[in-house]
């Protein structure tokens, strides 16, 4: 997993199949301990080809923790099996989805609550 925080405090996490479950757990720990408030997270799933119920459970726990902190999680780049699974489970209605990382960053700032500064 590659994690970066942009100049506006948006967490950009590029995930891959290798260690996906552990990476989602690490993000959950970051949300509870270290991230600026409210957390704004873009999960780039472009490198993920396999997703199972264990990953879904971790993804939902991450969303819950971020939501409780007043933040938002946006998923970018989901395709193939991952995109199909998000649709079949109804998670495409629960999470905001974007085709690209840039589009996901824009979605993070929609319905902005006034904390922080949206990109200009």
- Condensed to tens digits (0 to 9), the pLDDT of residues 75-89 reads 999 999 999 999 999
> Can you give the pLDDT at residue 119?
54
Q: Answer yes or no: pTM beyond 0.75.
A: yes
Can you give the three-state secondary structure of 70-98, one letter per residue? CCEEEEECCCHHHHHHHHHCCHHHHCEEE
CA dist 111 and 109 (Å) reads: 6
Is 27 within 8 Å of 13 (Cβ atoms)?
Answer: yes
Q: How confident is the prediction for the chain on average, in pLDDT?
A: 88
Residue 90 CB coordination number (10 Å): 8
Superfamily the domain 2-109 falls into: STAS domain (3.30.750.24)
pLDDT bracket for residue 113 (50, 70, 90) = low
- Condensed to tens digits (0 to 9), the pLDDT of residues 4-24 reads 889 888 999 999 999 898 999
Is the pLDDT confidence value at 60 over 70? yes
């Amino acid at each position: 997993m590659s994690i970066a925080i942009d100049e506006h405090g948006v967490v950009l996490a590029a995930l891959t199949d290798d260690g996906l479950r552990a990476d989602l757990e690490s993000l959950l720990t970051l949300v509870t301990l270290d991230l600026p408030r409210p957390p704004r997270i873009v999960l780039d799933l472009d490198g993920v080809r396999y997703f199972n119920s264990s990953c879904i459970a971790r993804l939902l726990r991450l969303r819950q923790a971020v939501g409780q902190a007043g933040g938002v999680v946006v998923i970018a780049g989901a395709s193939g099996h991952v995109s199909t699974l998000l649709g079949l489970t109804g998670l495409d209605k629960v999470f905001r989805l974007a085709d690209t990382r840039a589009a996901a960053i824009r979605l993070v700032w929609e319905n902005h609550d006034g904390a922080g500064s949206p990109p200009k």
